[in-house]
Amino acid sequence: MSSIISRKFLHILIIVAFLWLVGCQTAPSTFAPKGTAAAQIGRLWWILFGLGTAVYLVVMGLMLLGLFRPGTRLPFALNGRRLIIVGGLIIPLIILIVIYGFTLTTLNALAPEKNQGLLTVEVIGHQWWWEVRYPDQQVTTANEIHIPVGQPVTLKLASDDVIHSFWVPELHGKRDLIPGRVNDFWLQADEPGEYWGLCAEFCGTQHAKMLFVVVAEPQAQFDHWLSQQQQPAAAPASELTQQGLDVFIDADCDSCHTISGIDATGDFGPDLTHFASRLTLGAGAVRNTKGALAGWVVDPHGIKPGNLMPSSDVSGPELQALLAYLESLE
Ligand code: CUA
């Protein structure tokens, strides 16, 4: 008896958890597609869910009938051998063929070759951040992909270390980033907005904090962003920011980070040329604010344990100067 109750309780718990997840407003949801690819994947999901539910209800109904009304005659003389042939062979075959058809059609419609964009973006996975390059425009950024709204954008996915997986739930399905090869992919957002993406393949300690943002904006706004990103880094405009640049060099930040326009060409960590224009810090670990940046520089492992950036042993005034400089890199 107690096991029946606990099983019933478990079922209720699963249903509540399901409804709660479906209704979740803050996390990016595949149930709220904002792009053509996600919409088609969503449609396929609902077809599978609908067919699965129908089969479940019919089978459960037959089972209950067998339990409580044994000997009931089914319509169309579906009894004995006939039930096995129709219900166990013909109907499942039809359902599987329908699913196969819908799946092939969806896969075909989502093929990268059929959705070539005018713009190409290279995304390279690192433990635990995303390098983002616009090769034709010679722009490099990190953890943030700006795209023009309403058109497909071609993506080239690669990895610098282990297997990662690129996923923007509201825009498309998942695609792996595999060391030693380039995977074709594409994204399209139908409405302007910020869409959260994440790494969907366990890739080490900070897999959970390997996030990124897709910023979809109208063409003119996107062009403006791109031309701004093409500029070299802003030169220090005050004594404080000049001191900050000196601290950046003295503390060896340049051995891992590139800032174009000054002699900093490290490529182990994210390019910081337009760091201040980005929304997040540490691949989506925190919002890019001055306070968070101070915490990040002094103790990056407090925010993201295990990440590969060493803490910096800078004095208070040095830190203030460094923050002022980094915040000036619009
Ligand atoms: Cu990268 Cu998980």
* pTM for this model (two decimals): 0.85
Q: What's the 125 CA to ligand 1 centre distance in angstroms?
A: 8
Give SS3 for 80: coil
Written as one letter, the residue type at 78 is: L
Please report the atom of ligand 1 found closest to the CA of residue 208. Answer: 2
Decide if 117 contacts 106 (C-beta within 8 A). Answer: no
In DSSP notation, 93-143 reads HHHHHHHHHHHHHHHHHT-GGGG--SSEEEEEEETTEEEEEETTTTEEEES
Ligand 1 pocket residue status of 210, Cβ below 6 Å: yes
Q: Is the peptide bond before 128 cis (omega within 30 degrees of 0)?
A: yes
With tokens 């339990």, the residue in question is 67
Q: What's the 124 CA to ligand 1 centre distance in angstroms?
A: 11
Quote the pLDDT of residue 207. Answer: 95
Per-residue pLDDT reduced to its tens digit, 189-221: 999 999 999 999 999 999 999 999 999 999 999
Give SS3 for 287: strand
With tokens 């990190």, the residue in question is 142
Per-residue pLDDT reduced to its tens digit, 19-71: 665 555 567 888 889 999 999 999 999 999 999 999 999 999 989 988 998 88
Q: What's the 176 CA to ligand 1 centre distance in angstroms?
A: 10
Ligand 1 pocket residue status of 284, Cβ below 6 Å: no
Decide if 210 contacts 128 (C-beta within 8 A). Answer: yes
Binned at pLDDT 50, 70 and 90, residue 115 comes out as very high
